[in-house]
Chains A and B, each alone.
Chain A
Amino acid sequence: MTILVVSIAVLAVLTTTLIVAAALHKVVWRVRQPRRAAVERGARRRVVELIAGGTISADEIRAMPKAELRALERMIAAFRPKLRGEARETLEELIEMRNVEAQARRRARWPGAVGRLRAAHTLGLVASPSAVDALIGLLHDRDADVRSTAAASLGRIGDPRAAGPLVCSVGAKRVVPAGIAVDAVVKTGAGAIPALLDALASESREVRRAAIDALGFLHASEAVPVLRLMLLVEGDERSRARTAAALGRIGSPRAVDALVRALDVARTPALRVAVLEALEALAPEEARPAIERCLDLDDHAVVRTAAAAMLALGDPGRMALEARIADGEAGAEHAAERIAEMQLALHGAPLQRLWP
């Protein structure tokens, strides 16, 4: 009984302390907020004046209170990626004066993850060649958030040197989420393509998949010969589905024969749907027999996608579909459903009732 009473009392004291601490924190934050906002406004004004031709000496910077200096650094980092020409050079000189980059690189080696996280963010804004090297190092950080932030920062900088390390990071022991890595590589642009082509030969399936995705998003037509081959020989069907999607995005007619062959030998609906979507994007007349064969399959998603691919072929595809619907052949209902949806999207209402 006594133990219970004591426990309740301790719990009550702890709860009260927590509530009081939270309330105090809120009060302190509110009291400090106007001051913080004022410092931020002052720093913005200062940077704007500097860009417009004002000057500031190293001594002035050294004499600044710490909070103002930090606000100035944040503001310089925020302005820099939006500017080019003389304005950007002015900010770069300021960065040099304050050595923001050197500080961030030092912070990148801090034991605390928060410091390294801030470093990864700041280095992305600094965007110099040496910042890229430091960020590539942070892709292997022991903290997942630091790795992801480093990847996003590399994407913001867009240096092609980072493309290889970024795509390989999805298969590393300390992994970067594939979505973040692929997004960063794509932001790098066409300069990333050679590294991505190399990554297609990686032993890691995750790396190969990320490279396939990125090549598709980059519309890398030089990757079509390799991707055609991969579509037919890649071991697992998920990778082949990604390859089909990439070929569809690239939009090269050279991929059609491989897509048709992949469609004929596909075992899973997911791969068939991916190939059909790619064929829908390419709309090749020679693929019509293979697409039409999919209308006879017993999978809703496959038949609907095949119907969309038929419609993409224009009048011949549409007429073949309508004949099939009129005859009540297999898949006709799903095909009609897809046609009705497309008409709805195009005209606001189905043009005609397609089946009873």
Chain B
Amino acid sequence: MGARILIVDDDRNVCELVAFKFESLGFAVRTAADGESAVASALDDPPDLVLLETMIPALSGFEVCRRLRREPVTADLPILMLSARTHERDVERGFAVGADDYVAKPFSPRELVSRVEAVLARRLRASR
């Protein structure tokens, strides 16, 4: 089985599209629609990568990222932000709270897959 990905987005369309794309490539995908459940899900069973929208209910994506970085079990988890917030300040903030990459919407699903694979490969190399 491929890597396990947690997709966090309250937009059902984006969630289903990204999930479908990764499932068809052999990844095991699960989803969360808000910040609280994303944190709970990641802590309960840490995935191999989190794809995180910044504008989600309950907790913002930035806060989710910050909390995951604080917890020992998810501190090194690769986190890729996929966000409609495209201002350079938001991108800067994303990296400041610990994101490994930041993809702005509108996005290309193919490019997203490449970026996820690159982040996972980097992590794998680093862990060897």
Chain A residues with a Cβ under 8 A of chain B: 44-45, 47-49, 51-52, 75, 78-79, 81-88
Q: Report chain B residues within 8 Å CB of A44.
A: 12-13, 16
Q: Looking at the complex, which one of A45, A84, A86 makes contact with B106 (CB distance below 8 Å)?
A: A84
Interface contact B111-A75, CB-CB below 8 Å: no
**Interface residue from A47, A78, A83 paired with B109 (Cβ < 8 Å):** A83
- A274 to B19, alpha carbons, bound, how many Å? 50
Q: Which B residues have a C-beta under 8 Å from some C-beta of A?
A: 11-14, 16-17, 20-21, 24, 84, 105-111
**7 A-B pairs with least C-beta separation:** A85-B108, A84-B106, A48-B20, A48-B17, A87-B109, A84-B108, A83-B106
**Contact between A79 and B24, CB atoms less than 8 A apart:** no
Once A52-B21, A52-B24 are accepted as A-B contacts, the answer to whether A87 and B16 lie under 8 Å apart by CB is no
The answer to whether B13 touches A75 (Cβ under 8 A) is yes
CB pair A81–B106 under 8 Å, yes or no, is yes
Query: Main secondary structure on chain B at its contact with chain A?
Result: helix
- Decide if A82 touches B24 in the complex (CB within 8 Å): no
Q: Knowing A44-B12, A75-B13 touch, does A83 contact B108 (C-beta < 8 A)?
A: yes
Inter-chain contact A82/B14, CB cutoff 8 Å: yes
Q: Are A79 and B17 in contact (CB under 8 A)?
A: yes
Contact B16 A48 (CB under 8 A): yes
Tell whether, in the assembled complex, residue B20 and residue A83 are in contact, meaning their CB atoms are under 8 Å apart. no
Interface contacts beyond A48-B17, A84-B107: sample of 10 additional A-B pairs, CB < 8 Å, sorted by A: A45-B16, A52-B17, A82-B84, A83-B107, A83-B108, A84-B106, A84-B108, A85-B111, A87-B108, A88-B108
- The chain A residue with its CB closest to the CB of B19 is A48
